[in-house]
A and B are shown apart, each in its own frame.
Chain A
């Protein structure tokens, strides 16, 4: 216990130093070969989403359920005054219904939808070389075109446009 204590004290000291250091250091321009990714989990599987495809990350936003025939439609939610439909990313990715839809990301682009998923792990910056195209031989997953290789795992990157496409198709069918 005393070892842990000294370790913790050391860590806190380290953190303070780093924080203080950040103010003293000149601003670093971001390298353009870095890509921002949001690390998420759907079910128990790790995924990633390009940050530039997302306009916001929200947690515990109240979603009003809507009756409907779409199982992937969770409901609607208000984002800065705008009512946005919330879709279940689990179901869209082909997972069975379940899990918590605590985290929402608001998509970028003309059509704004929200996608709900289980877990938000964080924001990472990876080198663009770590992202690779998904080959044909790899597991066929819905809406996954790329994968990112990190130190300990491979995260498939969710391709939001294809998801949007699917939703649009569904809506059209419905309207028909």
Chain B
């Protein structure tokens, strides 16, 4: 995967490599140039040395010649200096040309020549000192010194030539290498420049594209993140609101639970009171039951007496019926007797009187019978009323007794139910206590959740902010990489 780093690294590596190559080439060229220039300067040194040698020899010869001519020791100064320095110079030369076997051979050839020449000069000088001018001139004229000097010159010239050839060669080498270096450096630099610019362009465009892509992704993601953060913020807000509502509801629930617990407690108390009241009522009912039973007994007795009384009055009534019947019959007979008496005429008058008396008696009896019947009826109606009343009373006593029994049963039921109620109330109390505890726990948990929700809200707000910042940053980044894109 060609990452940014790799691409940039590759570009830079190649540029580095090219630069390094160019540097190496330049360095090499410089090295070779330096070496060549060192060689050139070396050669110049050699040449200088050779020239010095020649010059020293010439000076020596000149000194010699001067002395020969003038016999002035002062003119031997160049000869002395030359003689002293030539060996060193030759040694130096030998050192300088240690790498050149041709030159070494020539130096081998040169050294004896120089020695011969110096010896010759010395000979001449000594001769001049000792013999004077003419012998020395003869020696000089012999030309051995000149020959030697010519040989030295020849050798030195050869050496000089060779060195100059070497110099030319080296100069051409230098030129060649310099031109090669120039070429290399120029082309390389050009190529490098081209490559670097191409690479830079390519990299820039590729990187820009990639960055733009990545930034677009980031923008999209940040937009998504923003929307998600928005949703989260909204959700957190809703959750927070819901939490508030739940908290309120839980508080109300708590309050209600406490109320229920209190009510259950009160119910239990009331139930206990009701049980005791029911027990008291039970006792009262039992007493009432007993008294009712007594009443019933009495009432039954009354009823019995009344029924007996009724029977007796019925008997009286029956008797009275007979009497009444008799009276009626008597009356009818009296009437009929009166009628017959009326029909009998005078004879029947006395009979009519008796019939009349009978009639009167029958009337009296009927009247009394009516009275008695009235009384009997009163008694019987009174008896009936009493019996009915007592029956009604007995019935009501019965029903009352039954009702009392029912009441007693009801009281027992009440006591049982109250007992059950007490149990239930206790259970309710317990469960409401548990519920209160649980609700309090829920309350705490809800408070925690509410806290968490608030934190989530805050953090989601922060996330939203961060997402917005991210969106802004990505937009800026996009603008950085693609200034033409203004979104």
- Residue B328 at the A interface, CB < 8 A? yes
- The answer to whether A38 and B335 touch (CB under 8 A), given A19-B361, A22-B357, is yes
User: How distant is A122 from chain B, measured CB to nearest CB, in Å?
Assistant: 6
User: Could you show 8 A-B contacts with beta carbons less than 8 Å apart?
Assistant: A27-B350, A29-B349, A51-B335, A51-B339, A52-B342, A56-B336, A123-B359, A123-B363
A54:B331 contact, CB within 8 angstroms: no
B338:A123 contact, CB within 8 angstroms: yes
B339:A55 contact, CB within 8 angstroms: yes
Cα distance A36–B337 when bound, in Å?
13
Interface string of B326-363 (1 = CB under 8 A from A): 00100110111011001100000110110011011101
- Residue A132 at the B interface, CB < 8 A? no
User: How distant is B121 from chain A, measured CB to nearest CB, in Å?
Assistant: 218
Among A1-52, those with CB < 8 Å from B are 4, 11, 15, 18-19, 22, 27-30, 36, 38, 51-52
- The answer to whether A122 and B363 touch (CB under 8 A), given A22-B357, A27-B350, A52-B342, is yes
User: How distant is A80 from chain B, measured CB to nearest CB, in Å?
Assistant: 11
- Minimum CB distance partner of A54 in chain B: B339
- Residue A58 at the B interface, CB < 8 A? yes
Cα distance A36–B360 when bound, in Å?
13
Cα distance A106–B175 when bound, in Å?
201
- Residue A83 at the B interface, CB < 8 A? no
- Residue B364 at the A interface, CB < 8 A? yes
- Minimum CB distance partner of A19 in chain B: B361
User: How distant is A23 from chain B, measured CB to nearest CB, in Å?
Assistant: 8
A36:B338 contact, CB within 8 angstroms: yes
Footprint of B on A, CB under 8 Å?
A: 4, 11, 15, 18-19, 22, 27-30, 36, 38, 51-52, 54-59, 122-123
- Minimum CB distance partner of A22 in chain B: B357
Interface string of B352-385 (1 = CB under 8 A from A): 1100110111011010100000010000000000
Contacts of B343 in A (CB 8 A): 55
Given contacts A15-B368, A59-B328, 5 further A-B contacts (CB under 8 A): A27-B353, A29-B349, A55-B339, A123-B334, A123-B338
Cα distance A29–B353 when bound, in Å?
8
Contacts of A38 in B (CB 8 A): 335
A57:B342 contact, CB within 8 angstroms: no
User: How distant is B361 from chain A, measured CB to nearest CB, in Å?
Assistant: 7
User: How distant is A101 from chain B, measured CB to nearest CB, in Å?
Assistant: 16
Q: SS class of chain A's interface: helix, strand, loop or mixed? A: mixed
Cα distance A169–B360 when bound, in Å?
40
Contacts of B336 in A (CB 8 A): 56-57
Contacts of B338 in A (CB 8 A): 36, 51, 123
Cα distance A36–B342 when bound, in Å?
11
Cα distance A18–B357 when bound, in Å?
11
Contacts of A56 in B (CB 8 A): 336, 339
Cα distance A28–B364 when bound, in Å?
19
B375:A123 contact, CB within 8 angstroms: no
User: How distant is B383 from chain A, measured CB to nearest CB, in Å?
Assistant: 14
Cα distance A38–B353 when bound, in Å?
18
- Minimum CB distance partner of B360 in chain A: A22
- The answer to whether A58 and B342 touch (CB under 8 A), given A15-B364, A27-B353, is no
Cα distance A100–B334 when bound, in Å?
23
User: How distant is B360 from chain A, measured CB to nearest CB, in Å?
Assistant: 7
- Minimum CB distance partner of A122 in chain B: B363
User: How distant is A87 from chain B, measured CB to nearest CB, in Å?
Assistant: 20
User: How distant is B381 from chain A, measured CB to nearest CB, in Å?
Assistant: 15
Cα distance A123–B331 when bound, in Å?
9
Of B328, B332, B335, B342, the most chain A CB neighbours within 10 A belong to: B335
User: How distant is A138 from chain B, measured CB to nearest CB, in Å?
Assistant: 29
Contacts of B363 in A (CB 8 A): 122-123
Cα distance A55–B343 when bound, in Å?
9
Contacts of B328 in A (CB 8 A): 59
Contacts of A58 in B (CB 8 A): 332
Interface string of B397-415 (1 = CB under 8 A from A): 0000000000000000000
